Structure 1
Amino acid sequence: MPNWLLPEYIQDMLPEEAWRVERMRAQFLELMRGHGYQLVAPPLLEYAESLLLDDSRDVDLRTFKLVDQLSGRTLALRADITPQVARIDAHLLNRQGVARLCYAGSVLHTQPVGLTRTRELLQIGAELYGHSGLESDLEIQRLMLQALALLGVDNVHLDLGHVGVFRALVNHAGLDRELENELFAALQGKDTAALQALVQPLDAALRDALLALPSLYGECAEVLARARRQLPDYPEVRAALDALQTAAADLQPLVSRVGIDLADLRGYHYHSGMVFAAYHAGSHDAIALGGRYDELGKSFGRVRAATGFSMDLRQLYSLLPRQTACLGICAPLLDDAALSDKIAQLRAAGEAVVVDLLGDKALRTELQCDRELVLRDGVWQVAAL
């Protein structure tokens, strides 16, 4: 096999994509800085137990593992940065009040999450710790939508869900963990046949509520109205539906449409409250994900209220219209003080000036220049190529 081939679903970023993605990263981080979020940069590699969360089989399956030759312990390449940020909040910063943190870095997956996705994502995101109210959920959700708009992604559709609804149903029924996991898998896969078989032994009220969840998807007002009729009036269910209604009304002006999906249990063992996902017509998969995960800090010995979001810059780049390349100015290779001064002035003004080392006009197009420096009347001037 040729040694220049890359593994499946691993790609290089060539100049056009690499430059634009880097500009997007800088735009995102500046937005975060303006909202008071502080940048952290966790390592790509950690001990496996720090990255593989309790009950998170999906994270385990996505994670590359290897043996550390220094300690003999199992190491893991991160598949998600959020657990690392939770570790930093819990043990390194150890703040008592609200902490706002953001990040941008590569993550690796053993399998692509979509048919057209890479296994090396450039994950950006923000996390808010120390506040359990709806206000922090809304701050994070607004910030995610503002970031998408800033990066040039428009016509976004937002789906809201709440894992507290399903959790309330199974907790009130006192179901064992095995059946709970089977119900979770059937709901997450929208497998109504499996769901119907699993709920047969349950009492009628719980059976009807669980069977209703897959159909509680669509336009916000209509779905919430049906949910209030079809689901038990448990306090936890009522509080979850009220929170979804408030969030939908608040976020509606920022997106093309807000929908509700009460069977979206993505990250059920990870999240603890409201979850959300942004979609775009140009992608089969969600383009941004987030939610509340108040229990995650337990893995690090310190439970903290937490909510956050993440997205993949490489996926977002694929949704944007192509831009005309920013071309530079070609300069001859000469030992000329006036030429050097002119080049320095142009670069200080933000221009890209490329010295033509070969001086071969046939190869000049490879320099990505549309202008050149020419000497006219003893003065170096910029002229069109």
Structure 2
Amino acid sequence: MSIKKWMLPEGVEEALPPTSWELEDLRRKLLDGFRRRGYELILPPLIEHLDALLTGTAQDLDARTFKFTDPASGRLLGLRSDMTPQAARIAARRFRDQAVVRLCYLGTVLRTQPDALGGPRSPRQVGCEIFGEAGIEADLEVIDLMLRTLRLAGLKKAHLDLGHVGIYRAISGKLALDPDDEAVLFDILQRKSQPDLAEFAQARGLKPRVVKVFAELMELNGDVTVLQRARETLKSAGDPVQEALDTLEQVVRKLRAEAPKLPIHVDLAELRGYSYHTGIVFAAFAPGHGREIARGGRYDGVGAEFGVARPATGFSADLNELLRLAQ
């Protein structure tokens, strides 16, 4: 048999002893911890009808989802590429009469392509979600749980990255850009390219004061003192921006009280999960590792397309990556 037949697809991994046992030990440890914190375990299916997988939170996952036709029904099916939308569906349909729902999950997801930084295509995704809590206490609970998850995995020196997509939404919403231009502007901000911003603004005829706000937004990243600078820099951007800064300041203040030594980085132009997140977004990074090792944020209104709209916040990580970095 050709050796090529033994090779796995690019970005797809398998686990062998002793790594497989180490993964199983970590899985049990994490799920036991979630259970003690009051989270209910769900085990969503690997495949679902495509329209359900791409409803609500998952529209941006379309290009990363494997699709095929169900021989039994003729309908399009998809292999899950993220378990968060499945958790949202389950919370809306199976826990609709429960005011506040806390769910956890762990399972393999499959993606047509890795993320921009070359991540795996078959991560073992672990995560927690809170549905029905709109206050920052829920965001703080999820951030705390994310950091505890990293510590349980042996990663004790992670630092936290904070942002708020509401700031960008409030500023860009005044421009009434079409989806294509919105995507271009989004990409420019993620790359923090001032020359590309100037070129984009000139081509679209944007007013200089608007360009100035976006240019300043790109520079608003660093330690928590960024929030003080943002107050002055973005004072003309409107109340929604000031309210978003209020939220970030409250979160930072409470995190500082609970974990005074936690390194916190603020980036107001970081828009991870922009297409469905509505408020605070966060990620954890490990020293010497360029890619985020856990991520999350608020996505209010989730479940509306399933008939139960309510606020939500959560985080997820890759079990394989956590174990690899801890070794």
Deviation of residue 93 (structure 1)? 1.6
Mapped to 2, the partners of 1:180 and 1:25 lie a distance apart of 39
Mapped to 2, the partners of 1:195 and 1:255 lie a distance apart of 36
The residue identity in structure 2 corresponding to 1:207 is V
Are the structure 2 counterparts of residues 149 and 318 from structure 1 closer, same or farther at C-alpha, using a change threshold of 3 Å?
Answer: same
Matched residue of 1:69: which SS? coil
> Normalised by the size of structure 1, how large is the TM-score?
0.79
* Partner residue, 1:380: none
Deviation of residue 90 (structure 1)? 0.5
Please point out which of 182, 188, 192 is paired with 1:186. Answer: 188
> Normalised by the size of structure 2, how large is the TM-score?
0.92
* Partner residue, 1:33: 35
* Partner residue, 1:105: 107
Instruction: Tell me if the contact between 1:279 and 1:285 (Cα under 8 Å) persists in the aligned partners.
Output: yes
Are the structure 2 counterparts of residues 295 and 196 from structure 1 closer, same or farther at C-alpha, using a change threshold of 3 Å?
Answer: farther
* Partner residue, 2:311: 305
Report Cα offsets for 1:214-272 as digits up to 9, x if no partner.
11111112x11221111125111111111111212222417641011111111111101
Mapped to 2, the partners of 1:227 and 1:219 lie a distance apart of 12
* Partner residue, 1:207: 211
Instruction: Tell me if the contact between 2:171 and 2:237 (Cα under 8 Å) persists in the aligned partners.
Output: no
Please point out which of 165, 171, 174 is paired with 2:173. Answer: 171
Deviation of residue 176 (structure 1)? 4.1
Are the structure 2 counterparts of residues 54 and 132 from structure 1 closer, same or farther at C-alpha, using a change threshold of 3 Å?
Answer: closer
Please point out which of 60, 76, 79 is paired with 1:74. Answer: 76
Deviation of residue 133 (structure 1)? 1.1
Report Cα offsets for 1:133-153 as digits up to 9, x if no partner.
111111111111111112211
Are the structure 2 counterparts of residues 87 and 250 from structure 1 closer, same or farther at C-alpha, using a change threshold of 3 Å?
Answer: same
Percent identity of paired positions between Structure 1 and Structure 2 = 44
Please point out which of 36, 41, 44 is paired with 1:42. Answer: 44
Deviation of residue 298 (structure 1)? 2.5
Q: For 1:277-296, what aligned pairs fall within 5 Å after superposition?
A: 277-296=283-302
Gaps of 5+ in 1: 322-385
Mapped to 1, the partners of 2:116 and 2:151 lie a distance apart of 23
Report Cα offsets for 1:310-368 as digits up to 9, x if no partner.
000000111113xxxxxxxxxxxxxxxxxxxxxxxxxxxxxxxxxxxxxxxxxxxxxxx
* Partner residue, 1:268: 274
* Partner residue, 2:263: 257
The residue identity in structure 2 corresponding to 1:305 is P
Higher mean alpha-carbon deviation, 311-320 vs 91-100, is at 91-100
Instruction: Tell me if the contact between 2:60 and 2:275 (Cα under 8 Å) persists in the aligned partners.
Output: no
* Partner residue, 1:360: none
Deviation of residue 26 (structure 1)? 0.9
Task: Name which structure has the greater RCO, CA cutoff 8 Å, separation 6+.
Answer: 2
* Partner residue, 1:229: 232
Gaps of 5+ in 2: none
Instruction: Tell me if the contact between 1:155 and 1:255 (Cα under 8 Å) persists in the aligned partners.
Output: no
Instruction: Tell me if the contact between 1:32 and 1:102 (Cα under 8 Å) persists in the aligned partners.
Output: yes
* Partner residue, 1:196: 198
Query: Which of the two has greater strand per residue?
Result: 1
The residue identity in structure 2 corresponding to 1:9 is G
Report Cα offsets for 1:111-161 as digits up to 9, x if no partner.
122666321111000000001111111111111111111221111111000
* Partner residue, 2:141: 139
Mapped to 1, the partners of 2:222 and 2:197 lie a distance apart of 20
Mapped to 2, the partners of 1:101 and 1:254 lie a distance apart of 29
Instruction: Tell me if the contact between 1:156 and 1:255 (Cα under 8 Å) persists in the aligned partners.
Output: no
Matched residue of 1:270: which SS? coil
State the structure with more CA Rg.
Answer: 1
Mapped to 1, the partners of 2:261 and 2:90 lie a distance apart of 32
CA RMSD of aligned residues (A): 1.9
Please point out which of 220, 223, 228 is paired with 1:216. Answer: 220
Deviation of residue 212 (structure 1)? 1.2
Mapped to 2, the partners of 1:34 and 1:305 lie a distance apart of 23
Are the structure 2 counterparts of residues 96 and 11 from structure 1 closer, same or farther at C-alpha, using a change threshold of 3 Å?
Answer: closer
Mapped to 1, the partners of 2:123 and 2:178 lie a distance apart of 36
